[in-house]
Amino acid sequence: MKVLVAVKHVVDYNIKPRVKQDGSDVDIAGVKMGINPFDEIAVEEAVRMKERGIVTEVVAVTIGKTNSQDTLRHALAMGADRVILVETEAELQPLGVAKLLKAVVEREQPRLIILGKQAIDDDLGQTGQMLAALINAGQGTFASVLEVKGDEIEVTREIDGGTDVVALKLPAVVTTDLRLNEPRFIKLPAMMMAKKKPIENIKAADLGIDIAPRLKQLKVADPEPRKPGIKVANVAELVEKLRLAEVL
C-alpha cells in the first residue's frame, strides 16, 4: 500500500522567535528552519512500515514556498520514495492546506495519510482532522502505536488521562504524537543522494482551489513577562515563603 506523508517547513524548535518591531508578525527572516518535528516522526513511521514490508511506496508532500524544498529533501534522505511540492507564495491556513492535500490525495490514492499532530509554529493542530473530514475518512489523532490489520489500521492514541485504541477503515488519516517513534539520524551520503532526486512541482494556483485565508492576524505581541522571583537559601526558607504566600 501507498502512504502519503504531509510535511511542513517550520522555524527550528530551538529558536525563540522574535516579534517584529511594528507588531505585525513574527520575524523569521534569516532564521534557521527545518522539518516540523511531528512530521519527521510521520515520515519515520512511513519509512519503517516500508522497511517492514507493509508499505510499498512513501510519498511526501508539502505545501508552501520554494524553500519548503529543504524539508522535502529531508524526507527523501530519511527514505521517502517521491516528494511533491505544492507551491504557493500565499498565506496558508489549515483549511486551505487540507483542501490542497485533498487534491493530492485524489491524485495519489494513498491507503494511509500520516501528518504531524501539530505544527510547532502556529500550534493549531487542525490539518489532519480537516483533511480526514474532507475526504470522508476515519481519523486517528495523537498516535503512539500504529498497526495495520487487514482493511483497518489500529491506532493507539495519547489522550487526556491515558491512551485509547481506535480501528479505522482504510484509507484513513493518522496524526503523530512524539512517542510514535524516534526519527533516524540522517547520514551525509543519504543527504547527498537526496539532493540529486527530483522534486515534483505543482502550482497551487493551477489546482483551482479556494485557499483564501479566513483568519486575519491583527497583531502579535510578547506575552507579559513574569515578575522576577527570588532564590531561597534552603528548604526552611522555602517553606516560610510558601506559608507567607498562603498556598500551603
Partner 1 sequence: MSILILAEHDGNHIKQSTRQAVSAAAAWQLPIHLLVAGSSSESLAKEASGIAGVAKVLHAEAAHFEHPLAEDVAALLVQLGADYKVILSAHTSFSKSVLPRVAALLDVAMVSDVVSITAPATYVRPIYAGNVLSTVESSDAIQVLTIRATSFAAATDGANAEVAKVNVPPSTGLSRWVKEDKTVSDRPELSSARVVVSGGRSLGERFNELLEPLAHRFGGALGATRAAVDAGFAPNDIQVGQTGTIVAPELYFAIGISGAMQHLAGMKDSKIIVAINHDPDAPIFQYADYGLVANLFEAVPELTAALSK
Ligand X SMILES: Cc1cc2nc3c(=O)[nH]c(=O)nc-3n(C[C@H](O)[C@H](O)[C@H](O)COP(=O)(O)OP(=O)(O)OC[C@H]3O[C@@H](n4cnc5c(N)ncnc54)[C@H](O)[C@@H]3O)c2cc1C
In whole angstroms, the minimum distance from the beta carbon of 215 to partner 1 comes to: 5
Q: Which amino acid is at 16?
A: K
Contact flag: residue 13 with ligand X (CB under 6 A): yes
3-state SS, residue 50? helix
Q: Yes or no: say if 166 and 140 are a contact pair by the CB < 8 Å rule.
A: yes
Q: How many residues bind partner 1, per CB under 8 A?
A: 81
Q: Yes or no: say if 172 and 153 are a contact pair by the CB < 8 Å rule.
A: yes
d(CA 234, CA 232): 6
In whole angstroms, the minimum distance from the beta carbon of 167 to ligand X comes to: 28
Q: Which does 34 bind (CB under 5 to 8 A by kind): partner 1, ligand X, none?
A: none
Q: Yes or no: say if 38 and 116 are a contact pair by the CB < 8 Å rule.
A: yes
Q: Yes or no: say if 36 and 75 are a contact pair by the CB < 8 Å rule.
A: no
Q: Which of 1, 158, 199, 207 binds partner 1 (CB under 8 A)?
A: 158
Contact flag: residue 120 with ligand X (CB under 6 A): yes
Interface positions, 72-131, toward partner 1 (CB under 8 A) = 93-95, 98, 117-118, 120-131
What is the rounded end-to-end Cα distance, in angstroms, of the chain?
Answer: 58
Closer residue to ligand X (CB): 37 or 94: 37
Asked if the bond preceding 225 is cis, omega within 30° of 0, the reply is no
Q: Which does 167 bind (CB under 5 to 8 A by kind): ligand X, partner 1, none?
A: partner 1
Closer residue to partner 1 (CB): 200 or 213: 213
In whole angstroms, the minimum distance from the beta carbon of 14 to ligand X comes to: 8
Q: Which of 3, 49, 132, 202 binds partner 1 (CB under 8 A)?
A: 132
Classify burial at 179, counting beta carbons within 10 Å of its beta carbon; exposed 0-12, middle 13-18, buried 19 or more: middle
Contact flag: residue 157 with partner 1 (CB under 8 A): yes
In whole angstroms, the minimum distance from the beta carbon of 42 to ligand X comes to: 13
Contact flag: residue 199 with partner 1 (CB under 8 A): no
Interface positions, 206-225, toward partner 1 (CB under 8 A) = 213-223
Tally of CA atoms within 13 A in the half-sphere of 95 that contains its CB: 6
Tally of CA atoms within 13 A in the half-sphere of 134 that contains its CB: 20
Q: Which does 111 bind (CB under 5 to 8 A by kind): ligand X, partner 1, none?
A: none
d(CA 38, CA 178): 7
Contact flag: residue 116 with ligand X (CB under 6 A): no
Question: Which residues would be at the binding site for ligand X (CB under 6 A)?
Answer: 13, 37, 120
